[in-house]
Structure formats: structure tokens, C-alpha cells
Chains A and B, each alone.
Chain A
Amino acid sequence: MPENKTHTEVNDVAPRFNLIQSLHRNRRLLFPVVALILILIGDRIIQPNFFNIRVVDGRLVGSLIDILNRGTPTVLLAVGMTLVIATKGIDLSVGAVIAICGAVAAVLISTTTLPPLIVILISIAAGMLCGLWNGILVAYMGIQPIVATLILMVIGRGIAQLITNGQIATFSNPTLEFVGKGVLLGFPFPIFLSLIVFGLVWLLVRRTAIGLLVESVGANDRASFFAGIDAARFKVFVYVISGVCAALAGLIVTADIKGADANNAGLWLELDAVLAVVIGGTALTGGRFFLGTSVIGAFIIQAIQTGIFVSGLPPTFNLIVQAVVILAILFLQSEELRRLFVRIFTSLRKPA
């Protein structure tokens, strides 16, 4: 846990010994950081002015800022998805929840006189509701997470279409637009939003017992049950968090284009989010989770996409590159493949 590292060092009796050990223990967490740096260097090679940052009209402009800004929806989703995956779950519905919450906000702001802040809160509440639905299906009805969240994935875009009545609901409201396009201290506002959400969720799970209990449920649900932990309530909780994160991502996406596109808002973002979490070192089998590196994972994906964009390749190459990245990571993580290689290697060496 990089987020706990400094803390551990302060308390340790023999810091040097433990620093090496904790580096060793967290070696797979170095991988995302190294990967991000390598990809950024790659981007720099493709586009020599990739690292340049200029100030235009009081706001910072440049590819790096762009990565931070464009990456925020995935960052938000990855934060929620990390917790869900830590409990051995998965949330496939986040893309659809983005569409629903975006539609709620866009329709309310353009057809009612509700103040923007209330609209935003209602939209977030819609996200919570979606999370609650998923959580109840998973935790109390015992439906596999993939299947349970698939239901909302199928229905969700339909609901969003109903809310917008099949059109792209456009609006013009400075407060709501600020969520997606605003500038604060020279930086795009979404960056701050994702930073705040990340910070709050981090505090919520790491400064309370929630993080430990979630990890214990993911690591060994039977032993956790024996220790007196009620895993069902945690499962509902993590899906609600995931729903809220998706709602915020939906607000950013919607505010950014000043409209809710029920068909395309958040399309395939659930897959980006899962990928970000996996790159960040949280295993799909649950247990230990790493919020910080999930965020880095999200930026890795964005850095690849931005890199493809600046290189002049069609953005559709994203999909292939992402697929190759997923496969590479799966192969790297696969215990079976390692065993297979060892077996082949030893059988090759035997006759010699």
C-alpha cells in the first residue's frame, strides 16, 4: 500500500530493514508507476512537445494536463471499482450509470427551475440508488456480481434513453458546466473533483475499519465470516460507493459536452475502469486493494489514448492497444502460465 507506506515507516523500529522489505513486498506496485513513466516517455518520443505546458487565458494547456483532465471519469470509476473488486465483485453497470446520472442532470437542469446544486445532488442520489440495487442483488440475493450488474448494464441505457426521451438532452447552465469545463487555479475543475473524491474515499476506507474489513472479506470470506464479519453489508456499501463514483463521472462527461448522450456517454468505460484496477495491482480474485495505483492505472490508459491521439493514429487503435495491454497483464499475472513455462523449460533442459 503506497498510501500507508510513509505511516508504516514512521512507526517502525528498524526503518531501514523494513523499507527494503516493504519495497520488496510492494514490488508489483512499482510496475504501474514504471509503466506510466515509460508510456509518457514513449508519447514524448512520438510528439516532441508532449511535455510542454502553456498558459492560455489563465488556464494551463498541454498534453499532460489533457491526460489529467480526460482521465478523470476513469479515475473516478476506478476508485469505486477498486473497492468492488476487492470484495471479489465486479461492477459492469458503471457505464450505464454514467448515462443515467448524466441524463437525470441534463433533463432536470433544462426542464425544471431547480438550483444546479440540488440537480447535482439528485443525480448523485440516482447513482447511489443504482449501486444499492446492484449491492442488494449481489449481497442479499447471492447473484454472481457479473450477472447482477449485467442486468443494470442492459437496462441502464434504456432508462437513460427514457429520461432524455431518446434525444441528446442539451442544456446551458454555467454552474453545471463548471463541473466539466470549469477552471480552478489554472487547472481544469474535474481534476480537483477526482482528487477530492479519491481523498474522501481513501479517508473513508483507510481511516476507518472499512478497508481492513473489505480486504478480509475479499481475502477469505469464510474465515471473515468465522471472525464475525457481516460481509453482506460491506458488499452493498462498495456497490453504493461505485454508483456514486459513476454518478460523478456522469456529471463530468455530461457537463463537458453540455448534453446527455444516452447512447454513448460512458460507453465501454466500465472496461477501462476494470482495466485500471487490474493494472493497479488489485487482483480480480479480491483481497488486498490499492486505490492509489488504480488511479495511476487510469492515467496509464489515458496516456495511451492521448498518445494514440497525438501520434495521428485513429483513436480506434485504443481498443487494440488496450486489448493487448489486458492480455499482457493477464499473462504476467497468470500462475498457470509460469508453471507451464517452468515445465517446458525443465523438460527442454533434461535431455541436455
Chain B
Amino acid sequence: MFTNAHPIAVLKTEKLTKSFGSVKALSNVDFNLYAGEVHAVLGENGAGKSTLIKLITGVYNKDHGAILLDGKAIEPHSPHEAQSLGISAVYQEINLVPTLSVAENLYLGRQPMRWGMIDTRRVNTNAKALLKTYDLNIDVTRTLSTFSTAIQQIVAIARGVDMSARVLILDEPTASLDANEVQMLFGVISLLKARGIAILLITHFLDQVYQISDRITVLRNGEKVGEHLTADLPKRQLIPLMLGRDLAINDPADSTARITSDTGTNTFLQAEGIGRHGMLHPLDLHVDKGEIVGLAGLLGSGRTEAAKLLFGIVPHDAGDVRVKGKKVLLRSPRDAVQNGFGMCPEDRKVEGILAELSVRENIVLALQAKQGWFNSLGHKRQQEIAEEMIRALHIVTPDSNKPAGELSGGNQQKVILARWLASQPEFLILDEPTRGIDVGAHAEIIQIIKRLCAEGMALLVISSELAEVVDYSHRVIVLRDRQKLTELSGEEITEQTIMQAIAEK
């Protein structure tokens, strides 16, 4: 193997550890990156991928362990410092200045000077020559933002590598590229590989991992769970590693207790060909009253995107949505709420909780927004609703006036759940309802989900925890690469079948 020819790692981490508060984001990770290889780091949300690269590039400072570059311990304190040591990173959101020209971006801060002034002509000729080595022949004087993401990415890579990079970190570089652009980028990656640059790749497109990478490291819950040569790790083995389940073992107990729902007669939501260009391939989906539909798939498979389209957060540009047989317009969450929808978003902090406002205000918000400006609930009624919810969902808070931001993650999640329950929705979308929540709250939230379903609510649940999805779903829709692969129902739903569906070529 090509990689075996380089026994000494360019970049090495030893027992690298980082905690945020009580959460261990990364613990004792040994990671090796060799010259001239593409090394993919894989894992679900919260696995520790981004923490790892932020430690390497100096965005965060480590708690324990060591980072070694060419065998020497380094401690970068900023991305700029890491860059000067020879570690460059290119992110999905490109960190170049969109309003400057391509050439200026390439040479910002290191422009060739003449008579104390920037030699603009040389900036441009050098830029042109530099990009030619990447087979990129473009007008370098044009504004960066007028070029496609792929070209911007290559410009970012070219700048990083030109500033004597030994290690190149690519964080989700293909997330917003189309198929042709991906191949163009891979061409550049192969080129750099041949030059002996060590490349760390983070992506959630498994097909691309198998196309371009030499080696795979899998992280889960902040720990390294495996390092393999890509050739030695078929997809069937990779997915269980990422999800923490063994594909071979099938637990029949999972599916026995399933409640069968009376499908068809009681459809609440029916989406036909709902999709959006560059976000989600059109898919069909229906959810009945008293039914839980699970959306399964890896991170980036399109599960969150589907939820966002259904809730009107991003308007869909294809397909129709019917609620109880009637066609509805979903252009904003407001429309969705008026149609009896509710949604607990994936990113609690940014999209869910109003940290500054009290638990009470957080709980009554959706109901109040639904009722309008003048139909105020009144302080007393708010208090009643809040206290009822606090009791019903066992929210741990001294009183309902405590700022919601001061609660624990699990309790914040319950507050958001309470917000929607107070608005008495008929259909609830839950995006990763149990992520980053302690065990006790986790079980309680699952109980609540089941109870709501029993009471006749229609639910669409997204979760990376397969066992969970298998436990409560009546039907499971499996997604990969932003499209629907298959739909499982009843007895078919097991962790094994879901993983097989995801891994299937």
C-alpha cells in the first residue's frame, strides 16, 4: 500500500483530550496522519471531528495530550499560528474574503511590493501562475464571490498550500458542490497527494470517502473507535462503527412490542415530491394520526433538510403538501404553525431556546404567537400552563421565572417540547430530540414521544440513535445523499435492516 511506505506520521496526536464543562468532546484520541495520504475522519454529530480539527488548528486549546508535527510537540494558539507551522484548513464556509479579487485573496498580507507599494501586476501574474498548477485558468482579478464554491475552495486550498502547508485539513469540502465540481476538487486533492501533502478529510459522503481516501479513522462520542485502511473496511463494517451498533446482531425484542397503526384512513400529512434544488431530492412522505415516522440516515443524508422543508423554514421549490387532504402553503414556520405543526429543531441553542427569557415565557411562546398579538394569555394563565408543563414533563427548575438558558440541556429540550405541546399541535417534528441529554431525561423524552403518539398525535422523528428509532417508529424512511432510499414498516424495522439500507450500494 502506498501509505505503508511512510512509517513516520507528519501529524500525530497522543491522548488528545478536550472537555467543555462536564462534556468530554474529545478523550484520549491518538490520531496519525502520514505524508501523501488522504485520511478521512468519520463520525456522527458530536463524535468529536470538529473538536479534533479545532485543536489541531489552534482554535481551541487542549486539556491534555500532545499534538506532534514531524515528531515535535506544537501548541498553536490561533489558526494563523497553525498556518505558519504548516497546517492549513479549508472549511465548508470558505474562509476567504468574498469581496476581494481572487488574486488579492491569494496574496493578502504577503503581496509582492515595489517601491513601498503593492505591485498589483505581480500579484495578478503570480496568482494566475499559481492557479495554473491546479489546472485552473480563471480571471484572477474578478471578485471571489462571483465564482462557484468549488473554485473558491480550490483558491483557498491553493493559498494554504502555497504558504508552505505540510498538512491540509478539508472540512466538509464537498457539502455544497455538485457531482462535476466534486470530481474537479478530487483532481486537486490527488495532485496534492502526489506532492506528498498530508490531507485530513472530513465528510459525510461515504461514497466519496471510498473514492478518495486511503485511511479512515472513526470517532464516536469523543473517542476513537477504529483506524483502518479504507480498502480493509467495507461500508457494512464502517456504518456499525460509526453508529456504535453491531450489524451482525439482530435483537428481535426490538420489534415485538410494536404497536401497529391503522394506516391510510387517518392521514394527517401527505407530502408529494417535496424537495428543493441543492438541498433535498424530491421525496414522498406521509404521516398518520397516532403514528411515529422515523427519518433515518447518517448526518448530511437529508433528514434535517426534509424537516426544514416540511416546517417551512426553507420554502420548498418542488412538490405539494396536503394536511388532512387539503393542499396547504408552507412558506414560513408561521404557516406551519397555523396548520397545527410544531418542531423541535436540532440546534437547541440557536434555533430553540430563548436563553434570556424565562422558562414560562419560553413555554407559552408558540401558543401566544399562534393566538396573535391581542389575544394575550395573561400572566396567570401563562403561569398555569408553564406549571402544568413543568409537572407533566418533569422539567427540573426552581420556578418558572428562571431564565431558560440556565437550565441543563435535557431540561431545555423539554422546555422546547413543552412550548409545542402547549400550542396543542396535531403534528410534531422532532429533530434529534435526545442528543446531548443525560440518560434519565433521555428515557423520559422517549416516554413522552410514545405517549403523544398514543394520544393521537402524528410525529416525525429524526435521530442518529438507531435503537431509539427502531423502538418507537411505526415506519422508517431511510435517506442517503439527500434522497429517499427506502421505507421500512412494521416487522421490517430493525437496526440491521436500517444499516443495511444505508450501506447498500
Chain A interface residues toward B at CB < 8 A: 4, 7-8, 11-12, 18, 21-22, 25, 207-210, 212-213, 215-216, 219-220, 222-230, 287-288
Contact = CB atoms under 8 A, between A and B. Distances in A.
B379 A7 contact: yes
B373 A222 contact: no
Q: How large is the interface on B (under 10, 10 to 19, 20 to 34, 35 or more residues)?
A: 35 or more
Contacts of B383: 11
A222 B379 contact: no
B353 interface: yes
A228 B366 CA distance: 7
B401 A8 contact: yes
Contact of B356 (A18, A22, A288): A288
Interface stretch (B149-157, B244-252, B343-351, B471-479): B343-351
Contact of A22 (B350, B353, B401): B401
A208 B373 contact: yes
A212 B380 CA distance: 14
A16 to B, nearest CB: 13
Interface stretch (B187-195, B298-306, B330-338): B330-338
Which one of A8, A209, A213 has the greatest number of beta carbons of chain B within 10 Å?
A209
Nearest to A220: B354
Given A213-B373, A288-B356, A230 B361 contact: no
B352 A209 contact: no
Given A207-B376, A208-B373, A213-B373, A220 B355 contact: yes
Given A212-B361, A212-B365, A219-B357, A228 B375 contact: no
B99 interface: no
15 contacts: A8-B401, A11-B380, A210-B373, A212-B364, A212-B368, A213-B369, A219-B354, A219-B357, A222-B351, A223-B354, A227-B366, A227-B419, A229-B334, A229-B365, A229-B369
B361 A215 contact: yes
B491 to A, nearest CB: 36
A12 B400 CA distance: 10
A227 B380 contact: no
B115 interface: no
B401 A216 contact: no
B356 A219 contact: yes
A114 B376 CA distance: 39
Given A225-B333, A230-B332, A213 B356 contact: no
B313 A226 contact: yes
Contacts of B419: 227
Contacts of A21: 399, 401
B332 A209 contact: no
A21 B371 CA distance: 31
A228 B337 contact: yes
B21 interface: no
Given A220-B354, A222-B350, A11 B370 contact: no
B365 A227 contact: yes
A226 B311 CA distance: 9
Contacts of A219: 354-357
